[in-house]
Amino acid sequence: MELVLVIPIFVVLLLIIVALGRASTASIQVQDAAHAAARAATLATTPAAAEQAAEQAASQALASTGTTCRSVNVSADVGALTPGSMVRVTVSCAVNYQDLSGIALPGARTISATSSSIVDLYGTTGTG
């Protein structure tokens, strides 16, 4: 009788631990996508191309890890994109709870990450 009462509690606890682990993994993957987007933006030759490169790099990084987002928002602050300047990219990903937990839970969690990268001093850009 005691076993019948304790097993459901352990199963729920195990599902919560799995959901927290998957949420942590998704957070790491979004941070990695932000880093890839910032680096891609620093390699572009114009500010417009940098913003487009950041969006593409973030989408590719998330797709390559299997992270599915309801919506992805990439915000790139590239400034003038001159050598030595800083590029800052923020990636936000709304992840379904079902994807995080493995069970049919409604709703989503938005995970955001910001990464910065410096435009190479000795690289070639169209503005310098």
Per the domain annotation, does 127 fall within a domain? Answer: no
CA dist 12 and 67 (Å) reads 24
DSSP 41: H
Per the domain annotation, does 27 fall within a domain? Answer: yes
Average pLDDT over residues 48-70: 92
Predicted confidence (pLDDT) per residue in 85-106, tens digit: 999 999 999 887 776 656 666 7
Q: Is the pLDDT of residue 37 over 80?
A: yes
Per the domain annotation, does 22 fall within a domain? Answer: yes
Per the domain annotation, does 128 fall within a domain? Answer: no
**pLDDT for res 80:** 85
Residue with tokens 């891609």: 40
**pLDDT for res 104:** 67
**pLDDT for res 127:** 47
Per the domain annotation, does 25 fall within a domain? Answer: yes
Percentage of the residues of the chain whose pLDDT score is greater than 90: 47
Per the domain annotation, does 10 fall within a domain? Answer: yes
Q: Which domain holds residue 39?
A: 2-118
Q: For the chain, what is the domain count?
A: 1
Per the domain annotation, does 64 fall within a domain? Answer: yes
**pLDDT for res 14:** 84
Q: Is the pLDDT of residue 69 over 70?
A: yes
Please state at what angle helix 47-65 crosses helix 2-42, rounded to 10 degrees. Answer: 150
The chain-wide mean pLDDT, for the chain, equals: 86
Q: For 39, list phi and psi in degrees, rounded to 5.
A: -65, -40
**pLDDT for res 13:** 86
CA dist 105 and 51 (Å) reads 34
Per the domain annotation, does 124 fall within a domain? Answer: no
Nearest in space to 89 (alpha carbons), one of 127, 124, 56, 125: 56
